[in-house]
Structure 1
Amino acid sequence: MRIHSLPIQLVNQIAAGEVVERPSSVVKELVENCFDAGASQVTIEVEQGGARLIKIRDNGCGIVKEDLPLALSRHATSKIASLEDLEQVVSMGFRGEALPSISSVSRLTLISRISGADCAWRVNADGSERDFDPQPDPHPQGTTVDVRDLFYNTPARRKFLKTEKTEFAHIETLIQRMALSRFDIGFTLLHNQKEILSLKPAISQSEQERRVAGICGSAFIENSVKIDFAASGLQLTGWVGLPTFSRSQQDMQFFYVNGRLVRDKLVSHAVKQAYQDVLFHGRHPVFVLYLTLDPSLVDVNAHPAKLEVRFREGRLVHDFLFSALHRSLADLRPGHSVAQQAESGSLPQTQAVADVKADNVVWLGDSKTPQQSRPASGSAYASRLPQQASLPLHVEESIQAYASLYPKSESVVRLAQSEAKPLGHAIAHLHNVYILSETPDGIILVDAHAAHERVTYERLKRQYQNGTVPSQPLLLPIKIKVSVSEADLAEDQHQFFLALGFELNRSGPETIVLRSVPVLLSNADVETLIRDVLADLIEHGMSQRIQERYNEILATMACHGAVRAHRRLTVDEMNALLRDMEQTERIGQCNHGRPTWVELSTSDLDKFFLRGQ
């Protein structure tokens, strides 16, 4: 057959196959146009899951009458004019394909009015890009796009739509995600004339947190850390969930690049690395994060629907994200909120310590508790005693009152008079497993083995990272067959491997020879490890596999070196462990992602016994 040009409407329908996957795709494109129009309020009205009606109204700048036909024409836009503009796109839309593509598979009406105009103008479109006849309309300033009977002229596409409930669920999720990207805009969502979502603009920090809580749940805000990190021209803001607040699915992960919601393998890899040894197996972190960088450093034109981006300096972005998240998680120490409360003078009065005796509990102040023996030789906490300091006045008063009632409890008094610490001071060792600690705010329970494991693990990592990597030569060097590109990379990265304890040389076009390995990895499958590292370097430009393997071994060492469950701890040992916990990074979880401590406030305790009700 002879080569011929396709009809314009067919061209737009082909383009619609890339841009319009389902009703939510139409909503995404049209709402992004509202963003670019400078709207402060967007209303989305949907019927029958979007199959019957999608109506998007905004109060933005509007479109002049003469430009309405162009707005419905392929590759016509007001957002770029040259290649330079394309290389540093700051608008959400810019390709000029959405409206003509949507109009080619639906019955579309466009109504718009600019500021100062006598009236609005309305046009209808069918994707043919002809026969436009603007008609006056009383529409207020802004734009409305009315999309009816989606895929009415492409029945094969319509068959692939899911149920009304499912299609609307996609739209609702999309609007929630878009609402997280633009706090300065109000959103209203209606389905079958019923209001589903109503969000006012959120300008202040508290308003933004309320919007996030409304979409992600209040528990997310209560169990997240606010991030604001900047370096090398990059800025990362938002919220990341605590490792203990994780999910079984990746359904609460929102990442925005210059305000655009994206999915990116590089970002996912950096987040995974940051959470690598604090997340329980099979769980996924939750976050709402915003990355801001020079538009020229990111290509947003890598995907027809603009769902993916390509970073020009991928390694820089990866390292920045990893460092920001890793540092934020590492800095989570017990007592931050307690310290803030103490500064404001809002610490509640300390509750009296119960004078209780039990076979499996070591109670301070119990006159019948046997004399504590000295810790065994070599104990990490044997010689460390809690520092003495003064408590707030109201706490001192409660101590003296308690002492007058129970003069035998001298050890309790001495302990309570010591400095108020975030994790408090040990009262008992429950079942020889859990440390019970009292704080001015309530009580804390600590899994001694899990906490000691994290303390030891972090200490081993610091010691290992601060020293040279000990290496040992192999009695018989290992020949590894690889591809030419991998052999080239191994040769180029000789110093990289050497710094990690591997002596790796090239001995042929497709052969490398491993002559020495780190002492810690002498029993590992080093051949597979080298192959995996080379694959990572080719794919991502970086690899954490060797460091992960080191961490696995150090974690095992820490687990074996940690205090064992059911070993009775002395008071000094328990308090010294609490003090170490307060100084240890990522102390909230053990090396396997299990929580190390929990807190019950005095108000929580009061609720158990209906006090004050």
Structure 2
Amino acid sequence: MARIKLLDQDAINKIAAGEVIERPASVVKELVENSIDAGATRILVEVEEGGKGLIRVTDDGCGMDREDAALAIERHATSKISGPGDLERIASLGFRGEALSSIASVAEALELVTKVRSGGIDAVGTRLRVEGGRVVDLREVGAPAGTSIEVRGLFKNVPARRKYLKSGRAELARIVEVVTSYAVIHHRISFELFSGEKRIFKSVRSESWNEPLLRILGREVARNLVPFEAEARSVSISGVAARETATRSSPDWIITYVNGRLVRSRALSRAVAEAYRTLIPTGRHPIAVVSLRIDPSQVDVNVHPAKTEVRFLREEEVAALVTDAIRAALMKAGEGGPPPQRARPTEPTVFGTGKADDAVASSGAAGTVGGSDPARGLLSDLQRTLPLYSGGGRLDLELAAEPLPGGLRLLGQALQLYIVAEGPEGLVLVDQHAAAERIRYEILSKKYASGTISQELIEPVTLELSPKEAVLLEEWGPTLAEMGFDVQPFGKNAYTVRSVPAIGRRLDSPEAVHDVLRDLFALGRVGTGSTAKEEILKLLACRGSIKAGAEMGWKEMHDLLRDLSTCESPRTCPHGRPTAVTLSPVELEKIFGRR
């Protein structure tokens, strides 16, 4: 008996729809793109339960007659291309004719009401209703010009997909991101987004993207934006990039468009990051909006079912154009000079430590390679040649003589990454960030358990959040309060922060508090169990710890080694990375060919 069977059409449609429609934001994206292609000047998006209960997109575009409305929900029915050759000249956002068919396949019901804009006063509208992927009603109705599409019960008939959706507010945040992103690039269209009765976002038609950018990025960032543009052959780019003083803790604030389409492009994101190389600290990311106009034959938008990824024919040329344009704009704005150099008392050489340090190093006998324990001799040499200046202060000899737990003897700091010490088992290298993170995590865990994790700010901090962040703040509200934050509304998109977690570093500036909130939001779904709290504590511990690349004073290193020895789990950071490694005398001898 044959085991291979043909799937029925319903199963085929659901499988195909799963590639196009991943979540409520996917539906909003497809419907908004259809409205833009229809020449709309106003687009209204209404959702309930983060789009899981209801999504309705209404526009004043060209509309459809009865015949087109009936065809619109069929798979691969489209007015935007007519043959394979058109795939190389795609000028519209949609082109496959899959969106409505896919949405109807995975929704409890889809209802379309449309009327041709050019039909005159005697024209009538068309109402079409689909349930379970099948048309159940098609009739003439009175309707305004344009199109309204309503989707109810998304993934109700695909429970395996529905159970993986996030909470209503988390899904709403993704919808906000889609709507606001399109409001920027299509600023000649007014956008409005409602969640239930609450208006989340509104933009008005304008000749530039300044107004929607202001709403999304906030006034402080908007004041730091530098415009850029460039052109080469069949490619032109324009956009804005923030000065080096305005950065983010994640790369999510690089927004890229290709021919008016919101896309994810690693090539463009890397090009933006390259423009900021040497200008911003490691671990920070730039803010930039890049709009690229390119000959459709030079870019493939048919790479991904959801049309969110693109492939360029001359990728390196496009990337170089973006990098050069942004770097030139930053330099013109006075931000492109050489990165500032930190002043140091002396600059150590490989085998010497500079003039002042050499005086200290030469005060003892010269190190010898021979002796009964050559590895110990090497450790003594290392101690003499490591810089005795750290963080700008001279070595406190009394502190150096103070014993550390485990018989450790502090030698110094290497590469602004590692604390170097000598121990009974050999040379010890301590990852300064991992060690500090472990210490801070255990302190925070104890404070959380005792209910003392919160600290009140001397002066409240005022934040300006984007529409997406405002939605996420509602989602995270109870959890943030439990973890020590007191955040209260303070006008439109503004919030006052009165207390923050005691994470060990100052959280008394809008930028610092904003960064911590963004990192928390990036964790995704808000959990309620102990695992979720542990993840938040790990993040806060990381935020409160000294970073790689930071200079440490001698006392600071001494205290860190002492505190690490008192931890319950000193060998690893909260994320599982080792805090220290030991090179035994035997290993050192092998490295130097002594064995």
Q: Sort the Cα spacing of 1:232 and 1:53 in 2 relative to 1 into closer, same or farther, 3 A.
A: same
Structure 1: gaps of 5 or more residues: 337-446, 453-591, 594-613
Distance in 2 (alpha carbons) for counterparts of 1:157 and 1:230: 44
Alignment of 1:102 with 2:103, yes or no, is yes
Equivalent pair of 2:225/2:240 in contact (CA under 8 Å): yes
Q: Sort the Cα spacing of 1:62 and 1:448 in 2 relative to 1 into closer, same or farther, 3 A.
A: closer
Tell me the residue number matched to 1:308. Answer: 309
SS in 2 for 1:290: strand
Tell me the residue number matched to 1:151. Answer: 155
Alignment of 1:202 with 2:203, yes or no, is no
Q: Which amino acid aligns with 1:239?
A: V
Out of 193, 197, 203, the position equivalent to 2:197 is 193
Q: Sort the Cα spacing of 1:127 and 1:84 in 2 relative to 1 into closer, same or farther, 3 A.
A: farther
SS in 2 for 1:152: coil
Distance in 2 (alpha carbons) for counterparts of 1:180 and 1:21: 23
The equivalences for 1:121-132 within 5 A come to: 121-126=126-131, 128=133, 131=135
Equivalent pair of 1:12/1:127 in contact (CA under 8 Å): no
Q: Which amino acid aligns with 1:199?
A: S
The equivalences for 1:509-528 within 5 A come to: none
Distance in 2 (alpha carbons) for counterparts of 1:178 and 1:305: 16
Out of 131, 134, 137, the position equivalent to 2:138 is 134
Distance in 1 (alpha carbons) for counterparts of 2:56 and 2:331: 46
Structure 2: gaps of 5 or more residues: 345-548, 551-595
**Cα displacement (A) at 1:306:** 0.7
SS in 1 for 2:252: coil
Tell me the residue number matched to 2:224. Answer: 223
Q: Sort the Cα spacing of 1:240 and 1:252 in 2 relative to 1 into closer, same or farther, 3 A.
A: same
Deviation per CA, 1:367-399: give whole Å up to 9, x if none. xxxxxxxxxxxxxxxxxxxxxxxxxxxxxxxxx
Distance in 1 (alpha carbons) for counterparts of 2:343 and 2:334: 13
SS in 2 for 1:149: strand
Q: Which amino acid aligns with 2:238?
A: T
Deviation per CA, 1:469-519: give whole Å up to 9, x if none. xxxxxxxxxxxxxxxxxxxxxxxxxxxxxxxxxxxxxxxxxxxxxxxxxxx
Deviation per CA, 1:154-206: give whole Å up to 9, x if none. 11211111111111111112111111120110011111122111211111x4x
Q: Sort the Cα spacing of 1:100 and 1:326 in 2 relative to 1 into closer, same or farther, 3 A.
A: same
**Cα displacement (A) at 1:6:** 2.7
SS in 2 for 1:77: coil
Distance in 2 (alpha carbons) for counterparts of 1:277 and 1:131: 59
Out of 116, 124, 128, the position equivalent to 1:119 is 124
Distance in 1 (alpha carbons) for counterparts of 2:220 and 2:256: 19
Tell me the residue number matched to 2:40. Answer: 39
Alignment of 1:171 with 2:175, yes or no, is yes
Equivalent pair of 2:272/2:288 in contact (CA under 8 Å): no
Q: Which amino acid aligns with 1:119?
A: V
Q: Which amino acid aligns with 1:295?
A: P
Q: Sort the Cα spacing of 1:292 and 1:451 in 2 relative to 1 into closer, same or farther, 3 A.
A: farther
Tell me the residue number matched to 1:93. Answer: 94
Tell me the residue number matched to 2:293. Answer: 292
Distance in 2 (alpha carbons) for counterparts of 1:249 and 1:43: 30
Tell me the residue number matched to 1:280. Answer: 281
**Cα displacement (A) at 1:16:** 1.4
The equivalences for 1:324-473 within 5 A come to: 324-333=325-334
Tell me the residue number matched to 2:184. Answer: 180
Distance in 1 (alpha carbons) for counterparts of 2:252 and 2:314: 28
Larger Rg: 1
Equivalent pair of 1:227/1:238 in contact (CA under 8 Å): yes
Distance in 1 (alpha carbons) for counterparts of 2:252 and 2:5: 46
Equivalent pair of 1:254/1:288 in contact (CA under 8 Å): yes
Deviation per CA, 1:14-43: give whole Å up to 9, x if none. 111111111111111111000100000000
Deviation per CA, 1:321-352: give whole Å up to 9, x if none. 12212222222328x9xxxxxxxxxxxxxxxx
Tell me the residue number matched to 1:365. Answer: none
Deviation per CA, 1:200-255: give whole Å up to 9, x if none. 1111x4xx312211111111221110112222222111110111211111121111
Tell me the residue number matched to 1:248. Answer: 249
Aligned length: 342
Q: Sort the Cα spacing of 1:247 and 1:122 in 2 relative to 1 into closer, same or farther, 3 A.
A: same
Equivalent pair of 2:112/2:147 in contact (CA under 8 Å): yes
Equivalent pair of 2:237/2:290 in contact (CA under 8 Å): yes
Equivalent pair of 2:44/2:192 in contact (CA under 8 Å): yes
SS in 2 for 1:251: helix
SS in 2 for 1:285: coil
RMSD across aligned C-alpha pairs, in angstroms? 2.6
Equivalent pair of 2:230/2:321 in contact (CA under 8 Å): no
Equivalent pair of 2:257/2:292 in contact (CA under 8 Å): yes
Distance in 2 (alpha carbons) for counterparts of 1:239 and 1:316: 20
Equivalent pair of 1:262/1:309 in contact (CA under 8 Å): yes
Q: Sort the Cα spacing of 1:448 and 1:150 in 2 relative to 1 into closer, same or farther, 3 A.
A: closer
Deviation per CA, 1:47-106: give whole Å up to 9, x if none. 111111100000000011111121000011000012221111110011111101100111
Distance in 1 (alpha carbons) for counterparts of 2:183 and 2:6: 41
Q: Which amino acid aligns with 1:192?
A: G
Equivalent pair of 1:38/1:61 in contact (CA under 8 Å): yes
Equivalent pair of 1:105/1:126 in contact (CA under 8 Å): no
Tell me the residue number matched to 2:164. Answer: 160
Alignment of 1:20 with 2:21, yes or no, is yes
Q: Which amino acid aligns with 2:116?
A: I
Distance in 1 (alpha carbons) for counterparts of 2:15 and 2:100: 13
Q: 8-17 or 304-313: which moved more?
A: 8-17
Equivalent pair of 2:256/2:289 in contact (CA under 8 Å): yes
Q: Which amino acid aligns with 1:112?
A: T
Tell me the residue number matched to 1:321. Answer: 322
Distance in 1 (alpha carbons) for counterparts of 2:341 and 2:252: 32
Normalising by structure 2, what TM-score?
0.55
The equivalences for 1:554-569 within 5 A come to: none
Q: Which amino acid aligns with 2:9?
A: I
Equivalent pair of 2:116/2:123 in contact (CA under 8 Å): no
SS in 2 for 1:124: strand
Q: Sort the Cα spacing of 1:210 and 1:451 in 2 relative to 1 into closer, same or farther, 3 A.
A: farther
Q: Sort the Cα spacing of 1:67 and 1:449 in 2 relative to 1 into closer, same or farther, 3 A.
A: closer
Normalising by structure 1, what TM-score?
0.53
Deviation per CA, 1:294-327: give whole Å up to 9, x if none. 1110000000001100001112212211221222
Equivalent pair of 1:16/1:105 in contact (CA under 8 Å): yes
Q: Which amino acid aligns with 1:291?
A: L
SS in 1 for 2:154: coil
SS in 2 for 1:318: helix
Distance in 2 (alpha carbons) for counterparts of 1:317 and 1:228: 13
Tell me the residue number matched to 1:456. Answer: none
Tell me the residue number matched to 1:264. Answer: 265
Q: Which amino acid aligns with 2:266?
A: K
Q: Sort the Cα spacing of 1:449 and 1:253 in 2 relative to 1 into closer, same or farther, 3 A.
A: closer
Equivalent pair of 2:180/2:212 in contact (CA under 8 Å): no
